[in-house]
Every structure is written in C-alpha cells, then in structure tokens.
Structure 1
Amino acid sequence: MDNNGLFQKFVSFTASVHQITSDISKDVKAESLTPVQYKILEYIAVSQPVTLSEISECMHMSMPNTSRELKKLSEKQLCDRITDPADRRRQGITLSAAGESMMNEAFQHIGVRFAERIAHLTGDERKEIEQALDLLQQKVFY
C-alpha cells in the first residue's frame, strides 16, 4: 500500500475514533462542566502533571482561554497547580481529589460502555486488538 492509501485509512480511523469517543462518553460529564472543561479534565487525568501550554496545544485553544478555563476548574476545586521547586516559574497542573473522583466515575461509565461494545469479541480477537493498539501507540501515536 502506498503512503496516500495508508494516510486515507489513517484519516478514516481517526474520524471513527472521534465518533466512538463521543458516543461512549456521552452524558458522563457533570452538569456543572462545559464540554471544553470536561475535555481538559480528561486530558489532565491521563497525562498529569501537565503545563498550561500543553493543555492549550492539545485542546487547540489560546493560552488566555486555556488559563481562563483552568481558573474556573480551580474555583470548582477540580484541579490544582503545583509549583516546580526547581523552577518556581513552572507550574504543573494535576487533578485535585475531587477532580480525580469525578474523572474516575466518568471513566467507570465509559468503561462499561466500552465493555458492551466489545462483549461479542472472542479472547483471541481482544488480544489482537490489544496488540494493534500497542503497535499504533508505539509507531504512530508516540
């Protein structure tokens, strides 16, 4: 397969990932959160500690908008800023205990929906998917 064909499959795959992610995470966020705030918390949960610029880049948001959303999340006591002792200008952002609890609950609901999606698969098929995900992570999404 040439690079263009492979790229077209990649585009199709990533579009499917976005659709499935939307489907299985529908209605799992707290009512008090906007979709952007939930996505920020989700990113922090899987990547913490993160910096303001990392969140901004990942969310495709300007630094001022990212900062404003983080301030709102801090006011809701869902995330904390940790100052780097080696460089007091650097801050890492992590989930607070309340944020951890909220995201654990959200991930439990998503996990149930994921389990329903793969319930029909055999053990061998699940192993193949796990290996395919590992390969994608190592070779494409590193």
Structure 2
Amino acid sequence: MTSRSHKLSTSRSLPIALLRAREAVMGPVRGMLADAGVTEQQWRVLRVLDEDGALDPTTIAERAVLLLPSLTRILQKLEEKELVTRARDESDRRRQIIEVSPAGRALIAANMETSRGILRDLRNQLGDERHEMLIDLLNDLTELET
C-alpha cells in the first residue's frame, strides 16, 4: 500500500507544470491566431518557412515540432488557403519543396507585432533574467537523452 506522502503532488509534476506553462503562453496567442484564421500548427509551419525559406516536408515537421502525417494535412489546408506553395525539387523530382506564398508572408506580417507584443508581455512579467533562465532550462530538457 502506497502512502499519500509518496505520491507526487500535481502542483510539482513536471508534465502538468509544462502543460500549464504552455497554456499560459498559448492562451493569448490563440486569440490572435483565431482572428488570423489559422491554427497554432499552421502558424508554426508558416513561421518556420518564413524564417528558413523553402523546405522539404520532413525538415518542416522537425523544425515545427509536428508529426509528418499531421504536417501532410496542415500543408493541404495551407495550400487551400493559398498561404504556401508546393513544387518538385529540381535536383530530386521525388522530393517536394514547400514555400510561403506572398499571402502567407502578408498574414505573418499582419500578425507579427501582436505576437511579439504577447511574448514581450510574458517576458516583462517574468523579468529578463528569469525568462532567459526558463528558455535555457527548457532547451536543456529537450537535449537530455532519454
């Protein structure tokens, strides 16, 4: 029989703390994205492509932290909305290259200041030092070998 003292309190549970933190960050962002007519995942794909240029789907999935089957559906929706374009790689005809369209760039530009403002507010609430420490700790966590 396990005593209550051996149970980990949910207030100190890393998975639950990460979920709470994600909601604290993404809650305000979701409103912006809803107004823009894109999902969180679509926004991540657009941002990765805008930042890194034209990429193949596997690279997009890695950089946007998405599973490849999910990315396939996301790219279809983005293509339907004319926010990305898809072309065959000239050097490897089996490979597709995805790029942000001018409409996609316009959507990013129209929402970037709001996005930056949301993240700036969070940084101000945490303070610069704690914000940088949090980013460092989260990056350390993702680099751990499991």
Cα shift at 1:44 = 3.7
> What are the ranges of 5 or more consecutive residues in structure 2 without an aligned counterpart?
1-7
Rate the CA distance shift 1:120–1:34 in 2: closer, same or farther, 3 A. closer
Cα shift at 1:99 = 0.8
Aligned pairs for 1:1-142 within 5 A: 9-29=13-33, 33=37, 35=39, 38-46=40-48, 48=52, 49-52=54-57, 55=61, 58-59=65-66, 62=69, 66-120=71-125, 125-137=127-139, 139-142=140-143
Percentage of identical aligned residues: 19
> What are the ranges of 5 or more consecutive residues in structure 1 without an aligned counterpart?
none
Aligned-partner Cα distance in 2 for 1:20–1:74: 30
Q: 1:80–1:96: 8 Å Cα contact kept in structure 2?
A: yes
* One-letter amino acid of the structure 1 residue matched with residue 37 of structure 2: L
* One-letter amino acid of the structure 1 residue matched with residue 86 of structure 2: R
TM-score, normalization by structure 1:
0.64
* One-letter amino acid of the structure 1 residue matched with residue 138 of structure 2: L
Rate the CA distance shift 1:83–1:97 in 2: closer, same or farther, 3 A. same
Query: Whose radius of gyration is greater, 1 or 2?
Result: 2
Q: 1:80–1:95: 8 Å Cα contact kept in structure 2?
A: yes
Rate the CA distance shift 1:67–1:116 in 2: closer, same or farther, 3 A. closer
TM-score, normalization by structure 2:
0.62
Q: 2:88–2:95: 8 Å Cα contact kept in structure 1?
A: yes
38-47 or 95-104, which deviates more: 38-47
* Count of residue correspondences: 129
Rate the CA distance shift 1:116–1:105 in 2: closer, same or farther, 3 A. same
Aligned-partner Cα distance in 2 for 1:76–1:90: 22
CA-based RMSD = 3.5
Partner secondary structure for residue 89 of structure 1: coil
Aligned-partner Cα distance in 2 for 1:118–1:135: 15
